[in-house]
Chain A
Amino acid sequence: MSEHEYTPKSKVGKWFNDRLPLLTLANHLTDYPTPKNLNYWWTFGGILTFCLITQIVTGLVLAMHYIAHADMAFQSVEHIMRDVNYGWLIRYIHANGASMFFLAVYIHIFRSLFYGSYKSPREVIWIIGIIIYLLMMAAAFLGYVLPWGQMSFWGATVITNLFSAIPLVGEGIVTWLWGGYSVDNPTLTRFFTLHYLIPFLILGLVVLHIWALHVPGNNNPIGIDIKKPSKDTVPFHPYIVIKDGFALLMFMIVFAFFVFYTPNILGHADNYIEANPLVTPAHIVPEWYLLPFYAILRSVPDKLLGVIAMLSAILILAALPWLDTSKIRSAVFRPLYKQFYWILVADVLILGYVGAMPAEGLYLLIARIATAYYFLHFLVVLPVLGFKERTTPVPLSITEPILGGSPNLATVKKKDSFKDQ
């Protein structure tokens, strides 16, 4: 991508850079040509980086005071909340930070869905992103177990029991996961270890995610390929840095509101009751960000099929670049896809809603319809739309929004899709 060779001005800089080209990397990052028409939905990548760093820093600090032992975990969390200097602040940032992280990642994913950012040549970025998302869910679930409240304990029990659905070896795997015959101290200590590990795996994948992004460059709201650098791009610094910074600050205001004024609203009251293996809470609900998948799990009457459905709901996203057959990236020029996109958004929100409700009666029916539609969207609607949809004309460049009546440059290169017009 280095369109121009970079040489540090100072002698020392040049000496160092010849041996380890950190300055070249820094120069690449600051000069990185970015489409100038990126809207605010594109700022969530930066916001997510902020979320990850916040979680890692506050998490490290909490780990200095937390005790991963079934008899002391709950107490040590109360110790953090009461006695540790600023402990309450750090814990509330970490707990609410998880929710903010997911809020941002969902916006990031749905932005990608709307503007077709997962399409060629960005499939690898997208798949790395899905892996990051899976790891985030794992980290969030493991972290939720650590305070050792009632929801921690029973959430851990329910989720680990999902593995018992695997034929033949399922029970063995569950016992292995627990390190005993129920969720207990060995489970807690290993969950703590893994909760500590995963964020660093995520960090590594984020580096790859950004690396893979910098090969083709950013997609943009009109979804066309652009020449870099050109009139259509601006250097990342200062233009995008300041814009990301502005969006991040807006995000932080929302974040601060949760931390300082309603720190417990996104959590569940039962988690302030210490874990009790003899009593299950009346309603077991995961955190809000896992609810849609929880609804899919419960909508299938068979245990094994339910688990398969839930996993497929996430993994199907990895196949998206091939399921979506349309050559046009941005939904802006795809009137029909746009409609289906909003139906999918609504569908996922409905799944989230019924996931929080008891799995019975009308709720169960709604959950089943919504689950069916979720898969229908990816397996039927998207492949068919690509062939059937009449797209609107795509401009040739960002700066000169000429409606040339031609498809985007990506398709021009392939010279095979004029039939769409």
Chain B
Amino acid sequence: MKNFFRISFLIALFFGFQFNSNAAEKVEYLKTDWSFKGPFGKFDRAALQRGYQVYQEVCSSCHSMKYLSYRNLVEDGGPEFSVEQAKAIAASFEVKDGPNADGEMFMRPGRLSDKFVMPYENEKAAQAANGGAYPPDMTVLVKARGGGVDYIYSLLQGYEDPPAGVTLDDGVYYNKYMYGNKIKMSNQLSDGLVEYSDGTNASVEQMAKDVTTFLMWTAEPHLETRHKMGFKAIVYLIILTVLVYFSMKRIWSRIETKV
């Protein structure tokens, strides 16, 4: 037992270091309470719907969302738009389809089964339109950044004037949460930028939180299912472990040795 504790301690220490190391050069991110954190975490539907609106009106002109389909907007555990709403959203986009019988590509209104329409034809076009910087695809963005949701949330609010001595090239902005502090995306959010249909006040903080929540969902669309299933699985395992423990005690009691 003594060894057991010693080893557990060392392993814990090791993982502690690991997590620390990931956080090594991190600035303190802005904090907010995310409804999806923790073992029982769920998404806030209204926040997801507002977040979709922010993505659509603000981000989507540069950032693609290529692994998401319009049908996902209807699915359980997501923004849960009604089928009609989602169909209307899809139909508001022009999707390239074809070739038709004449061998030509044609445009048609989007359907639920379509993937989100990309703002640019390809990566090169995106770079050309954005001063050489490629606006990253947003589908799994929160999982692709060390700081996760806190980082994105902070970055959106992290624009400030560069400190004395820092010179910025054209098209480069100062952001205190960006790695190296220099970012090629200008400040996108300002109070009242979008008009929320549910009457929520569209402050910068509110929009940052909503759109980050939305991005968490696009990265982990099955998060709610995962949390629910995890709870069941672990409760089940604990019950079975207890049963097996007592079975083991009973079996080993046949010989006079302690397990």
Kindly provide the distance from the CB of A111 to the nearest chain B CB, expressed in whole angstroms.
10
Query: Contact at B17–A353, with CB atoms within 8 Å?
Result: yes
Query: Contact at B10–A349, with CB atoms within 8 Å?
Result: yes
Query: Contact at A250–B222, with CB atoms within 8 Å?
Result: no
The total number of A-B Cβ pairs within 8 Å is: 109
Whether A404 sits at the interface, judged by CB under 8 Å, is no
A-B contact pairs, 26 of them (CB 8 A): A78-B139, A82-B72, A82-B221, A88-B226, A107-B7, A234-B255, A238-B251, A239-B255, A242-B247, A242-B248, A243-B248, A260-B39, A260-B229, A260-B230, A260-B231, A264-B143, A272-B143, A272-B144, A274-B137, A288-B15, A342-B6, A349-B13, A352-B17, A353-B18, A353-B21, A356-B21
Whether B241 sits at the interface, judged by CB under 8 Å, is yes
Query: Contact at B67–A89, with CB atoms within 8 Å?
Result: no
The DSSP consensus for interface residues of chain A is helix
Query: Contact at B14–A352, with CB atoms within 8 Å?
Result: yes
Closest B residue by C-beta to A107: B7
Whether B146 sits at the interface, judged by CB under 8 Å, is yes
Kindly provide the distance from the CB of A119 to the nearest chain B CB, expressed in whole angstroms.
19
How far, in angstroms, from A222 to B24 measured CA to CA in the complex?
Answer: 44
List residues of chain B with CB under 8 Å of any chain A CB.
Answer: 3-4, 6-7, 10-11, 13-15, 17-19, 21, 24, 39, 67, 72, 136-137, 139-140, 143-146, 148, 179, 219, 221-222, 226-227, 229-231, 233-234, 237-238, 240-241, 244-245, 247-248, 251-252, 255, 257, 259
Whether A72 sits at the interface, judged by CB under 8 Å, is no
Query: Contact at A246–B139, with CB atoms within 8 Å?
Result: no
Query: Contact at B230–A246, with CB atoms within 8 Å?
Result: no
Whether A256 sits at the interface, judged by CB under 8 Å, is yes
Whether A405 sits at the interface, judged by CB under 8 Å, is no
What range describes how many residues of A lie at the interface?
35 or more
Which residues of the partner chain B approach A353 to less than 8 Å between Cβ atoms? 14, 17-18, 21
Whether A257 sits at the interface, judged by CB under 8 Å, is yes
Query: Contact at A357–B251, with CB atoms within 8 Å?
Result: no
Whether A75 sits at the interface, judged by CB under 8 Å, is yes
Whether A305 sits at the interface, judged by CB under 8 Å, is no
Which residues of the partner chain A approach B237 to less than 8 Å between Cβ atoms? 249, 252-253, 256
Kindly provide the distance from the CB of B113 to the nearest chain A CB, expressed in whole angstroms.
11
Besides A263-B226, A273-B144, A353-B21, 11 more A-B contacts (Cβ < 8 Å) are A36-B257, A89-B229, A245-B244, A249-B241, A252-B237, A260-B233, A261-B227, A269-B144, A272-B219, A349-B10, A356-B17
Closest A residue by C-beta to B16: A353
Select B234's contact among A36, A253, A272, beta carbons within 8 Å: A253
Which residues of the partner chain A approach B24 to less than 8 Å between Cβ atoms? 357
How far, in angstroms, from A40 to B259 measured CA to CA in the complex?
Answer: 9
Query: Contact at B244–A246, with CB atoms within 8 Å?
Result: yes
Query: Contact at A89–B226, with CB atoms within 8 Å?
Result: yes
How far, in angstroms, from A274 to B251 measured CA to CA in the complex?
Answer: 53
Query: Contact at B17–A269, with CB atoms within 8 Å?
Result: no
Kindly provide the distance from the CB of A357 to the nearest chain B CB, expressed in whole angstroms.
6
Query: Contact mask A247-268 → B, CB, 8 Å, 1/0?
Result: 0011011001101110111000
With A37-B257, A282-B179, A356-B18 already in contact, the answer to whether A346 and B230 are too (CB < 8 A) is no
Whether A345 sits at the interface, judged by CB under 8 Å, is yes
Query: Contact mask A175-195 → B, CB, 8 Å, 1/0?
Result: 000000000000000000000
Kindly provide the distance from the CB of B241 to the nearest chain A CB, expressed in whole angstroms.
4
Which residues of the partner chain B approach A242 to less than 8 Å between Cβ atoms? 244, 247-248, 251-252
Closest B residue by C-beta to A87: B222
Which residues of the partner chain B approach A114 to less than 8 Å between Cβ atoms? 3
How far, in angstroms, from A263 to B233 measured CA to CA in the complex?
Answer: 15
Which residues of the partner chain B approach A103 to less than 8 Å between Cβ atoms? 11
Query: Contact at B39–A261, with CB atoms within 8 Å?
Result: yes
How far, in angstroms, from A253 to B233 measured CA to CA in the complex?
Answer: 9
Query: Contact at A253–B21, with CB atoms within 8 Å?
Result: no
With A245-B244, A246-B244 already in contact, the answer to whether A345 and B10 are too (CB < 8 A) is yes
Kindly provide the distance from the CB of A13 to the nearest chain B CB, expressed in whole angstroms.
26
Closest A residue by C-beta to B233: A256
Kindly provide the distance from the CB of A307 to the nearest chain B CB, expressed in whole angstroms.
24
Whether A270 sits at the interface, judged by CB under 8 Å, is yes
Query: Contact at A253–B238, with CB atoms within 8 Å?
Result: yes
Kindly provide the distance from the CB of B80 to the nearest chain A CB, expressed in whole angstroms.
16
How far, in angstroms, from A239 to B259 measured CA to CA in the complex?
Answer: 9
* The 3 residue pairs across chains A and B that have the minimum distance between CB atoms: A260-B230, A272-B144, A249-B241
